[in-house]
Amino acid sequence: MAVLLCALAGCGNPTIVGKWRTSADPGAMVWEFTKNGSVLVGTVRGRYQFGDQNRVKIETPFATSVYQMEIYGDRMILREANGSKLEFTRIRENRS
């Protein structure tokens, strides 16, 4: 039961792990989330953690932000409380 509740609450949500690009432009900003709670936003390192109701808190040396997170396959949307949103597409690594 606790495992199910944790999964529903997004505890350690593995679907966010990986690299995400903010647009189709290859030169666009890349955000990289790791399994250990680290995030790299462009060249800025920070930490992320999950809260309740699909919220994620991202802390960098410059700011702390809380987003409502939606992930659908290879698309992710992070919505701020003021309604603005960031849209991402997962970067698939080519494995030989």
In which domain, by residue range, is 47 found? 2-91
What angle is formed at CA 3 by the lines to CA 89 and CA 17, rounded to 5 degrees?
20
Does the residue 13 lie in any domain? yes
- Residue-wise pLDDT tens digits, 62-89: 999 999 999 999 999 999 999 999 999 9
Number of domains in the chain: 1
Global pTM value = 0.80
Assign residue 43 a region (left: φ > 0; alpha: ψ between -120 and 50; beta: otherwise): alpha
Quick check: is 10 in a domain?
yes
Task: Tell me, yes or no, whether 96 lies in a domain.
Answer: no
The reply to whether 61 falls in a domain is yes
State residue 89's pLDDT score: 95
- Res 4: pLDDT: 33
Print pLDDT tens along the chain (96 aa).
333 333 334 445 679 999 999 987 778 999 999 999 999 999 999 999 999 999 999 999 999 999 999 999 999 999 999 999 999 999 987 765
Query: Hey, what are 5's tokens?
Result: 């509740």
- Give yes or no for a contact between 18 and 30, defined as CB atoms under 8 angstroms apart: no
CATH label of the domain that carries residue 31: 2.40.128.10
